[in-house]
Structure 1
Amino acid sequence: MAKTIEPHYDNLIIGFGKGGKTLAAWLAKKGEQVSLVEKSDKMYGGACINVACIPTKALIKKAEEKMPYQKAYGLKNELTSFLRELNYDNVEKLPAATVITGEASFVTANEVLVKIIGKDKGEKRITANRIFINTGSQPFVPPIPGIDTAKNVYTSISLLEQSTLPEKLVIIGGGFIGLEFADMYAKFGAEVTVLDSADEFLPQEDEDVADEVYKVLTSRKINIVTAATVQKVENTEGDKVKVEYKDKTGETVSLQASALLIATGRKPMTEGLNLEAAGIRTDKKGYIEVDESLKTNVHNIWALGDINGGPQFTYISLDDFRIVRDQLSDADYTTVEQRKQVASSVFITPPLAHIGLREREAVEKGYEIKVAKLPATSVVRARIDCNTSGLLKTVVDKKTNKILGCILFCTGANEMINTIQVAINCGLDYQEVRDTIYTHPSMTEAFNDLYAQI
């Protein structure tokens, strides 16, 4: 028997993302009544599970295994479907929790109108003592002439829904999302061109790291064009999509492709929320403004995850939950100012992982530094795994011996970087990492050799 939807709850959570669903379960287990509103039954569990981290990493793994695209596509869908149902059940099974599929729109700071989707279609007004917004972000599509009307133009979400591998793929955007898709589709056999508006490839990285990544990606016949300014998009005969851009010399160049991926950043998902009715302030980019406690300017409303304009990672959304949880339970971890350094990974092959300051950044901040580098080819485990591409690099404060930053471009980098994150956040001297006994043969034991060079 379906649970009766009550008009008033202790807590209302809008959006089924990582922070929201974890908070919903925690509150419900405490016995507080919780309503979790999600506008799509295809998004239970949030973007990570359904249209981002999990499906892309599943496809990347299958591409590395040389699995045909259509088979990998089917397995990806099986995985996301399983996780979606699991996440729904983990919340809905709790007696104090109710999942509502519908579009939420603020009426006041305590009242939300929900247009219910599905068999119980209709409207429901819900009031709550506390409201948490966790609606996330979505791909940003720039105002390029023709981009809204041309066929075979995709975002990172819609391209994942295509069961056929594009023979030729053009990607607008040379950031991390664009590079992940470029590398993945190239490994499946697509001919890939990346149009990057930046003058330099990966300009935020140190030159030696960027050069190494460039070398690896172009070795897979990925064509990377920097300083490319896209002028227009249109279709040609046979539903091919044509992209016209100006190169660094100002010359106009045309490319034809089977598909065009727009990977030019993300924007907040606030459409339809009617934030103005609740008096909730947003910043210039449309993200919800929050204080260090993740509270909006409205005392009973919080914003968690991508929607608050912080780092756009699933694990940051989870950490936002911890901050809110501790506020509600009078515990100690209650502000983003208490958050320590966080690592990130780009899942090209091999992965590119990073934490802290890069060499250039450390110099700009005035540190006296020591730098060590290690080619991945010198790591025994990389040779065993037949993946010797890449470079390991670290930056250490010469005065204190503390690790300022680390960049790992090697097989296993996404796991290895967590070790350095712990070392940095615990204030360990680099010698502790250098002299730790690691299992053998492992990628992590490369830290013995890397930090021995300091």
Structure 2
Amino acid sequence: MAQYDVIVIGSGPGGYVSAIRCAQLGLKTACVEGRATLGGTCLNIGCIPSKALLHATEMLHEAEANFAEMGLKGKSPSVDWKQMLAYKDKTISQNTGGIEFLFKKNKIDWLKGWGKIPEAGKVTVGDETHTAKHIIVATGSEPSSLPGVEIDEKVVVSSTGALELGKIPKKMVVIGGGVIGLELGSVYKRLGSEVTVIEFLDTITPTMDAEVSRQFQKLLAKQGLEFILGAAVQSVDATKTKAKVTYKLRKDDSEHTLDADTVLVSTGRRPYTDGLGLADLGVEISERGQIKTDDHYRTNVAGIYAIGDAIAGPMLAHKAEDEGMACAEGIAGQHPHVNYGVIPSVVYTHPEVSSVGQTEEELKKAGRKYKTGKFSFMGNARAKANFSGDGFVKLLADAETDRILGAHIIGPMAGDLIHEICVAMEFGAAAEDIARTCHAHPTYSEAVREAALACGDGPIHS
């Protein structure tokens, strides 16, 4: 029986970051992981492999659409799907291997297997039982489906199956107009698939700023994705090679069908806590299956904590990382804090979409007086040179104090540009602070400055 200060169950972004931080703070730490590799969903079957495929297909699009205009002449590249998947797998291996190296460097024990908590202070992995003063549950989430829709990961797939299809489908139906469906739908559209997105609501990405969401849909439609909104999927009938999707339009209750080679079910995710024994321990669980915690990530059972997708809040890898660090620091006697008002979100399509803080809709609902600064990437020299003029930066600031309340970007490198705003918001900056900060020319970041100028006397290049 091994004795530890902390045992972390799960090695995803929340779990491995928490384990490393615990070890850095002098706590004897172990991490339980049943997969053959570390890194959880994100590194193995989520964030990292999907970004590899997004990058590869974006390069394909550049070659097909823009190379000739830049004077790069030649035959358009053909797609070797097996090689593209091999590139994706190599990317996964490099990243998961990196986590294993970090565990060794920080003297963290990897307890290989699936963990269970028979009682507070104990974790069983296989036939072995280990003790720990503190146990952190970081077991993440799993794809959720619709009633009556069976995922076989061959014809009807979750994001997991969509990352390793045997061949590129001629027709793909994506159920759900959220981030995962749009990212992977974009991948297969660039590879030549006919992609149709069916969304229950009347808009895609419903939590996004409405103006950005509308522009986003227009740009994706321009790229060839088709959208059926306000539609409720009734069933998916699959054979070994095909599927038929039946849906009803909510506006008139009319029923329709679509044929597909592959159906991607991307209707969200749910916490994964199966097999931990939490119910027997009396750990409180919400109606949505999330582990209930206090502000210090403690459950109602002493010595047991939970972070990441397993608890309330947005299911984002970086949110889990922040919680993992904060939980570790709290256990070590420090006084950490996670600012949930400054957690960015990103959609890694082309163009990218990012946001932080509040949307216009949220500010209006709260009765908050605000001003808007907006700047189009068509006014940005670097964006025009790089065929990336679609989209804009929108900055929202308090009408009286000028303090930044939120930012929403659709355009090139939006996922990187948003962090200037995150840092500014963390320090309580005003839009004028961004406007008066020198930005290198020519860079995409100048569009952020112009949006900040638009909150005042107006942008220069518009």
TM-score normalised according to structure 1 size: 0.91
Q: Is the alpha carbon distance of 1:163 and 1:380 closer, same or farther for their aligned partners in structure 2, counting shifts above 3 Å? A: farther
1:16 aligns with 2:19: no
Moved over 6 A (4+): none
Distance 2:44 2:287 in 1: 28
Distance 2:412 2:344 in 1: 16
Q: Is the 8 A contact 2:25 2:332 kept in 1?
A: no
Q: Is the alpha carbon distance of 1:201 and 1:104 closer, same or farther for their aligned partners in structure 2, counting shifts above 3 Å? A: closer
Q: Is the 8 A contact 1:172 1:196 kept in 2?
A: yes
Distance 1:367 1:11 in 2: 44
Residue aligning to 1:315: 318
TM-score normalised according to structure 2 size: 0.89
Residue aligning to 1:120: none
Distance 1:424 1:245 in 2: 43
SS in 1 for 2:129: strand
Distance 2:272 2:354 in 1: 27
Give the 5 Å matches for 1:247-326.
247=249, 248-326=251-329
Give the 5 Å matches for 1:95-110.
95=107, 97-110=108-121
Distance 1:241 1:411 in 2: 36
Distance 1:266 1:201 in 2: 17
Q: Is the alpha carbon distance of 1:81 and 1:340 closer, same or farther for their aligned partners in structure 2, counting shifts above 3 Å? A: same
SS in 2 for 1:239: coil
Residue aligning to 1:174: 177
Letter in 2 for 1:287: Q
Q: Is the 8 A contact 1:14 1:135 kept in 2?
A: yes
Give the C-alpha shift of residue 149 in structure 1: 6.6
Residue aligning to 1:41: 36
Residue aligning to 1:7: 2
SS in 2 for 1:65: helix
Residue aligning to 2:196: 193
Q: Is the alpha carbon distance of 1:404 and 1:94 closer, same or farther for their aligned partners in structure 2, counting shifts above 3 Å? A: closer
Q: Is the alpha carbon distance of 1:208 and 1:9 closer, same or farther for their aligned partners in structure 2, counting shifts above 3 Å? A: closer
Q: CA RMSD in A?
A: 1.9
Distance 1:196 1:188 in 2: 22
Q: Which runs of 5+ in 2 are unaligned?
A: 61-76, 456-462
Q: Is the 8 A contact 1:105 1:273 kept in 2?
A: yes
Residue 51 of structure 1: which of 35, 39, 45 is its match? 45
**Identity percentage of aligned residues:** 30
Residue 22 of structure 2: which of 19, 27, 41 is its match? 27
Residue aligning to 1:76: 88
Distance 1:256 1:399 in 2: 54
Distance 1:152 1:417 in 2: 37
Distance 1:391 1:61 in 2: 22
Letter in 2 for 1:108: E
Residue aligning to 1:234: 237
Give the 5 Å matches for 1:85-96.
85-92=97-104, 94-95=106-107
Distance 1:165 1:7 in 2: 48
Residue 139 of structure 1: which of 139, 143, 159 is its match? 143
1:417 aligns with 2:411: no
Write out per-residue CA displacement over residues 143-192 of structure 1, whole angstroms, 9 at most, x where no aligned residue.
Answer: 12x52579511001121122422221101001111111112221222110
Residue aligning to 2:70: none
Per mean C-alpha deviation after superposition, the further-off stretch among 252-261 and 21-30 is: 21-30
Residue 209 of structure 1: which of 202, 208, 212 is its match? 212
Letter in 1 for 2:40: G
Q: Is the 8 A contact 2:7 2:31 kept in 1?
A: yes
Distance 1:224 1:261 in 2: 14
Distance 2:237 2:322 in 1: 43
Per mean C-alpha deviation after superposition, the further-off stretch among 365-374 and 285-294 is: 365-374
Distance 2:116 2:450 in 1: 56
Give the C-alpha shift of residue 234 in structure 1: 0.8
Q: Is the 8 A contact 1:106 1:277 kept in 2?
A: no
Write out per-residue CA displacement over residues 93-112 of structure 1, whole angstroms, 9 at most, x where no aligned residue.
Answer: 544x3212211122111222
Letter in 2 for 1:265: G
SS in 2 for 1:394: strand
Q: Is the 8 A contact 1:39 1:101 kept in 2?
A: yes
SS in 1 for 2:296: coil
Q: Is the alpha carbon distance of 1:442 and 1:93 closer, same or farther for their aligned partners in structure 2, counting shifts above 3 Å? A: closer
Distance 2:224 2:340 in 1: 40
Give the C-alpha shift of residue 26 in structure 1: 3.4
Aligned residues: 436
Write out per-residue CA displacement over residues 19-39 of structure 1, whole angstroms, 9 at most, x where no aligned residue.
Answer: 321232333355543221111
Write out per-residue CA displacement over residues 305-355 of structure 1, whole angstroms, 9 at most, x where no aligned residue.
Answer: 11112221111111112212321333231x44x555111111111111111
Q: Is the alpha carbon distance of 1:150 and 1:87 closer, same or farther for their aligned partners in structure 2, counting shifts above 3 Å? A: closer
Letter in 2 for 1:380: A
Q: Is the 8 A contact 1:150 1:234 kept in 2?
A: no
Give the C-alpha shift of residue 204 in structure 1: 3.3
Distance 2:390 2:104 in 1: 46
Distance 1:268 1:434 in 2: 41
Distance 1:28 1:150 in 2: 38
1:403 aligns with 2:404: yes
Q: Is the 8 A contact 1:105 1:112 kept in 2?
A: yes
Distance 1:126 1:448 in 2: 54
Give the C-alpha shift of residue 211 in structure 1: 2.1
Residue aligning to 1:245: 247
Q: Which runs of 5+ in 1 are unaligned?
A: 1-5, 116-122
Letter in 1 for 2:175: I
Q: Is the alpha carbon distance of 1:149 and 1:181 closer, same or farther for their aligned partners in structure 2, counting shifts above 3 Å? A: closer
